[in-house]
Structure 1
Amino acid sequence: MKREIAAKTFTPIYDELEDRLRLVINYQDIQNRVDFMITRSFIINLISTAQEFIEKHYGVSDFKTLPEQESKDKGTSKTDNVNLELLRTSEELLLEVNFSFNINSKHTILTLSSKNMTAKADLDGFMLTQVFQVMKSAIPYIRWGISYNF
């Protein structure tokens, strides 16, 4: 049976050894932490799908269009790298991501799933955009041979 957790924090890091993106959910909460490993092709498809979804439902056409002051005030904070590594869990290969938009609340349920884990988050448009903005910023563009503007 799959374990389900509520995703509260999202911390993406490029894992050089695995040559994958590691998306750590709830890095400070060892009971509800999961380290999703994301392959290169999966993240490239996911970013473009997320951009289309966000543009369709929230009218934001690019992750870089967020007002800088708003992003400083809401949603992002510096990761404690000691805790990030100290509390590290076994990796789960991310297999599926689903977006479910609620027209009444204007929120999206973001669901990330592996074989053994499911993490769900209820996010407004700004926070959803923030999640994918930080994920995109962790991509090693030059190493993977892709453009910064993909």
Structure 2
Amino acid sequence: MLNIAAFTFKYDQLEDRLLLVGNFNNQQPRVDFWLTRKLVLRLLSGAQELVDKTEDAVQQAPSAHRSELAQFHHDHAKQIMNAERENQTVTPEDACLLTRLDISYRNDQYRLLFYSNAAEPVAMSVLTYEELHQILFLMHKGALNLDWGVSPNLFNSEFSSQVLQ
């Protein structure tokens, strides 16, 4: 199983998919995945629940403010992101369809397992809270660029802060 230590995303209008390239220019074995709209939207829609369950500060916040706090953490992670613009064009190399992405949490780290039509994962990655937010940001940015109908804010509090009477 490959370890993904660096992530590169390309938003492909023609394919109407995101291309995730693991280890593009870091001297480790490269792996390419196509991410479909359906998979990305499911990951993004589950982001709030994942953060609610794994981040202590968000868990302890009043429920009416959890989305805002998660968005604050998300924006902070985006600002400190060590992103490099690739000078060369990213083109797919033997890209396979990502059919499943499992995310588990233990000891303040997120473990991502990448599957492509197999019982065993093709690749894995271990991320910090901030790195997870950075990956979510890049997926969200791709969904916005491809006009997939997502909210401009990943952690949209439009519905979560409404009070039923």
TM-score over 0.5 (shorter chain): yes
Gaps of 5+ in 1: none
Q: CA RMSD in A?
A: 2.7
Q: Is the 8 A contact 2:10 2:90 kept in 1?
A: no
Residue 131 (structure 1) shift: 1.1
Q: Show the counterpart of 2:62.
A: none
TM-score (norm: length of structure 2): 0.71
Deviates most, 139-148 or 127-136: 139-148
Corresponding position: 1:48 with 2:45: yes
TM-score (norm: length of structure 1): 0.78
Deviations 1:46-96 (A, max 9, x none): 1112332122101374664237676554x42213140634xx411110111
Deviations 1:111-147 (A, max 9, x none): 1211366221111211111111122112245733444
Measured at CA, do residues 90 and 30 of structure 1 come closer, stay the same or move farther in structure 2, by a change above 3 Å? farther
Query: How many percent identity over aligned positions?
Result: 29
Q: Show the counterpart of 2:112.
A: 110
Deviates most, 6-15 or 115-124: 115-124
Matches within 5 A, 1:1-150: 4-29=1-26, 32-58=29-55, 59=58, 61=67, 64-66=71-73, 71-73=78-80, 75-82=81-88, 84-85=90-91, 88-102=92-106, 105-115=107-117, 118-140=122-144, 143-149=147-153
Counting strand residues as a fraction of each chain, which structure ranks higher? 1
Which has the higher Rg, Structure 1 or Structure 2? 2
Deviations 1:24-65 (A, max 9, x none): 111114752111111111110111123321221013746642
Gaps of 5+ in 2: 59-65, 155-165
